Amino acid sequence: MDSKANQEPAACSDEHWMQIALSLAARGQGAVEPNPMVGCVLVKDQQLIGQGYHHAFGLDHAEVDALKSLASAAEAEGATAYVTLEPCCHHGKTPPCSEALIAAKVRRVVIALADPFPKVSGGGIEQLKQAGIDVTLGVLQQQAEALNAPYLKLVRTGMPWVIAKWAMTADGKIATVMGESQWITGQQSRHQVHLLRSRVDAIVVGMGTVAADDPLLTARINNQESQSVQPARVAQRIVLCHKRLPSSDAKLMQTATKIPTWLYCSPLVDSEQLRVLQEMGAQAVSLSTSDQSLMVRELLTKLGDAKLSNIMIEGGGELLGSFIHTQHCLIDECHVYVGATLFGGKQASGPIAGLGLPHLDQAPRFDLQSVDSFGQDVRMILRRI
């Protein structure tokens, strides 16, 4: 008789269960912001007995969602809870998750990442410990930080996470010498861009893009049956206006009463024209400077004050160039689509214009997160190191 047949299965590691919790947390992307994405699994006798995640802003947090998944509340007694972020300990839109875990009589709580939010910031951990619960912190911390990088940046700096997106040819051009640019990439790539639009808080363009492309800047998504699907999130459409303002005939203005449209304006714009656009439904925000690099920083500060956690830059080279300076780079993540074609030409535009950086050692460095192919196109996702 094989003696191994009677052996109990090997115990799963904390990392194993936390990885499941992180996968659950990611399901909330685009629906929970400005809250963090959080997942929770409940384990007892090496068996998964409950799981949950934060589904949408204002709904139950992950710990409560996991507890509600149990057949009975008594099942949680003596269990271990694996949570991707420190349980909250304050009353907000929902009651404190730390108190829910204490009331459930869990034996142990394993946490990936402490929450820097001032109303939590170690308080949840301390409450659990004071209740006699064993707490382990830092399991898969790097993965948890990567998942909630936009939330962490907003809490720590007061500014949103900046995603720069552009499509270019294999020789690095975003338009021909005559300015033609549609379409460098194919339909599959454009679908991915619309998916990105559907999960960010705002899409930012400059007046160059508005004048050249007359974009709508909405997320247009179809399901597998080619039916239109309403995105979970409708991004604000933001135009950074240095001297010019959109025409009243622009698609953005024609739909301003239906889709949030904001004009962030320097003191140089025409006040009478701005008043007309406001009457059409556009919201206007005055910036204190006409220096384009300072305008961008002020824009990010104001968006952070409004609790926007993810913004997508879809502007042309001049706007993207305003986010890169000799002393700092304001871009956190790049989604670069490369089409299988060549434009050539010294005068053909590249993705990032502006003054440029004079020295190699001033260039911001990025980490390659992923490389995917869509038809004949390639997408690279990079994150700032």
Residues with a known catalytic role: 63
Q: Is 97 annotated as belonging to a binding site? A: yes
Residue 319 annotated in ligand binding: yes
Tell whether residue 181 is among the known ligand binding residues.
yes
Q: Is 316 annotated as a binding residue?
A: yes
Residue 88 assigned to a binding site: yes
**Residue 85, annotated as binding a ligand:** no
318 is in an annotated binding site: yes
75 is in an annotated binding site: no
| 217 labeled part of a ligand binding site | yes
Q: Is 197 annotated as a binding residue?
A: yes
Which residues have CB under 8 Å from 126's CB, separation 6+?
89
Q: Is 317 one of the annotated binding-site residues?
A: yes
- Terminal-residue alpha carbon distance, the chain: 56
Does the annotation place 322 within a ligand binding site?
Answer: yes
Does the annotation place 69 within a ligand binding site?
Answer: no
Known binding site for NADP(+): residues?
209, 213, 316-322
Sequence ranges of the binding site for substrate: 167, 181, 183, 197, 217, 220, 314
Query: Annotated binding site: which residue ranges?
Result: 61, 88, 97, 167, 181, 183, 197, 209, 213, 217, 220, 314, 316-322
Known binding residues for Zn(2+): 61, 88, 97
